Amino acid sequence: MKTAITEMCGIEHPIIQGGMHFVGFAELAAAVSNAGGLGTITGLTQRSAADLANEIARCKDMTDKPFAVNLTFLPTLNPPDYPAYVKAIIEGGVTVVETAGRNPAEVLPYLKDAGIKVIHKCTSVRHALKAQSIGCDAVSVDGFECGGHPGEDDIPNMILLPRAADELEIPFVSSGGQADGRSLVASLAMGAEGMNMGTRFIATVEAPVHQNVKDAIVAASELDTSLVMRPLRNTERVLNNAAVTRLLEKEKALGDKIKFEDIVDEVAGVYPRIMLEGEMDIGVWSCGMVAGLINDIPTCEELINRIMSEADTIINDRLARFQAA
């Protein structure tokens, strides 16, 4: 399937694996890229720019296909050494970067001068238009259903994607709630040029996370996520567990007096213990409502082939029947 995104990224299928903390390692990125999608290494999971350079090299040993690096710009008093991370990306020969968080304008000229395509993740049309205006090549439009940070507008993709199509001139992909061939065809119908999947790719054979994490996603329904940190305007959608219950109780008790320090035990530094060691109640972790559509743990190749086969059947069989009628 050829779309503006497959042509831009040099990939076979319009399917992107989103950047995910302590999930987006070389093993998963390479498996997605080898299957014809665009795999993504999560830059800030690597403790230093030197570590990221090594991870990029590891990925290149596993695939000769294009892959991306996610670089998230965090609002923090002690920011990572972003120039060094950008240098590692450029020197590593990466061809696509997924940016997220704050405006990436400061690093954009360096990435563009190196011929790198930049896809910025946005949770609103106004942010997507801003990304377009500063020179991003594409955007990933992230609906309210998504795992992780959905923004503060609460607009689901059935509204957000057509609105993006109405306003944008650059191509965009759907993100949030994407899982199968139905997701892809629906996204294309609403104006997207492909789709970005996060939670769905955690529940794959190659995802280098603990089996407990994969099993939790498969067991979950669409009703098993919660929004946390909303009073701090740093809303995150997470899978329900004991830590989420503790955090929500603190939010209720403290009300508008809550500070990040009050919930630090549930949210800070927990990802390695959850994702790598399988301690499922030690803290909160991002998961989308799409868990309700995830019922198995295939290889990345099986998953992507299945999605494309389903999409082909929907387009050429189900939708064609309506036209014939």
Which pLDDT tens digit goes with each residue over 143-184?
999 999 999 999 999 999 999 999 999 999 999 999 999 999
Report how far residue 23's alpha carbon sits from residue 36's, in angstroms, rounded to the nearest whole number. Answer: 19
Q: Where are the domains of the chain?
A: 4-204, 211-289
Instruction: Please measure the distance between the N-terminal and C-terminal CA atoms of the chain and give it in whole angstroms.
Output: 26
- Residue bearing tokens 């290494």: 41
pLDDT of amino acid 149: 95
Side chain identity at residue 33, one-letter code: S
- Residue 122 above 90 pLDDT? yes
| The CATH number of domain 4-204 is 3.20.20.70 | yes
Question: The whole model's pTM is what?
Answer: 0.96
Q: 117 with 95: CB under 8 angstroms? A: yes
DSSP string, 67-124: EEEEEEE---SS---HHHHHHHHHHTT--EEEEEES--TTTHHHHHHTT-EEEEEESS
pLDDT tens digit string along 251-264?
999 999 999 999 99
For 182-221, the pLDDT digits (tens) are 999 999 999 999 999 999 999 999 999 999 999 999 999 9
Q: Specify whether the CB–CB gap between 118 and 141 falls below 8 A.
A: no
CA distance 146 to 238: 9
Single-letter amino acid code for the residue at 174: S
